[in-house]
Amino acid sequence: MHNGAEYVGDDFYCDVALAHPDELDIVHEDDRVLAFHHTKPKWELHLVVIPKRHIASLTRASALDEDDVAAVLRVAQTLARGVEEERGAQPVMSNLGNYQDSQHLRVHIHSGPRLSSPSEPASTDDAVAE
Ligand SMILES: [Zn+2]
């Protein structure tokens, strides 16, 4: 299982997730977007929505990335709407700059209690994710 535990690069999504989609728990897939249950969930429910094309981040996306960014946001909206209806509340967020472990745009949707993982110190990637 390529769960990223041993991965030390800076683009888990291109290098591991998109390279091994059969090992993901996918909730949505189309030509531009892949959404799946986070491989290392930090919350009871933790979905991640990514563009299939490499885009470094929301702030580093250019006009050329517009269609992919719009597609990611549309999928995030649909998934978040479902989670909101089912569970009442959740944040939708995307880390930037030093909060971004992997340099690949993604939108997190999560809900429910935070999962504790004592063996693994919280990464910078979820520093603002609550
Ligand atoms: Zn990438």
HEC profile for the chain?
Answer: CCCCCCCCCCCHHHHHHCCCHHHCCEEEECCCEEEEECCCCCEEEEEEEEECCCCCCCCCCCHHHHHHHHHHHHHHHHHHHHHHHHHCCCCEECCCHHHCCCCCCCEEEEEEEECCCCCCCCCHHHCCCC
127 lies in some domain: no
- Predicted pLDDT at 120: 54
Those residues whose beta carbon sits under 5 angstroms from the ion ligand 1 are 11, 14, 54, 104
Q: What pLDDT sits at residue 128?
A: 45
Gap from CA of 130 to ligand 1 centroid (Å):
24
Q: What is the CATH number of the domain that holds 78?
A: 3.30.428.10
Give, for all 130 residues of the chain, the pLDDT tens digit.
555 567 889 999 999 999 999 999 999 999 999 999 999 999 999 999 999 999 999 999 999 999 999 999 999 999 999 999 999 989 999 999 999 989 999 999 999 999 986 555 555 455 444 3
* 54 belongs to a structural domain: yes
What's the order of all strands across the beta sheet hosting 33-37? 26-29, 33-37, 43-51, 107-114, 92-93
**Quick check: is 47 in a domain?**
yes
CA of 90 relative to ligand 1 center, distance in Å:
25
List the structure tokens of 8.
């030390």
Question: Taking the mean position of all CA atoms in its chain, how far away is CA 51?
Answer: 10
Is 39 contained in some domain?
Answer: yes
pTM of the entire structure? Answer: 0.86
Between the CA of 104 and the centroid of ligand 1 the distance, in Å, is 4
In this prediction, residue 118 carries a pLDDT of 56
Q: What range defines the domain where residue 72 resides?
A: 26-115
* Residues making up the chain, counted from first to last: 130
Domain assignment present for 98: yes
Which pLDDT score, from 0 to 100, does residue 125 have? Answer: 52
* The predicted structure's pLDDT at residue 116: 82
Whether residue 17 is contained in a domain is answered as: no
Ligand 1 centroid distance, CA of 53 (Å): 7
Q: What is the domain count for the chain? A: 1
59 domain residue, yes or no: yes
Examine residue 84 and state whether it is found in any structural domain, yes or no.
yes
Distance, CA of 22 to CA of 42 (rounded, Å): 22
Structure tokens at 19: 């390279």
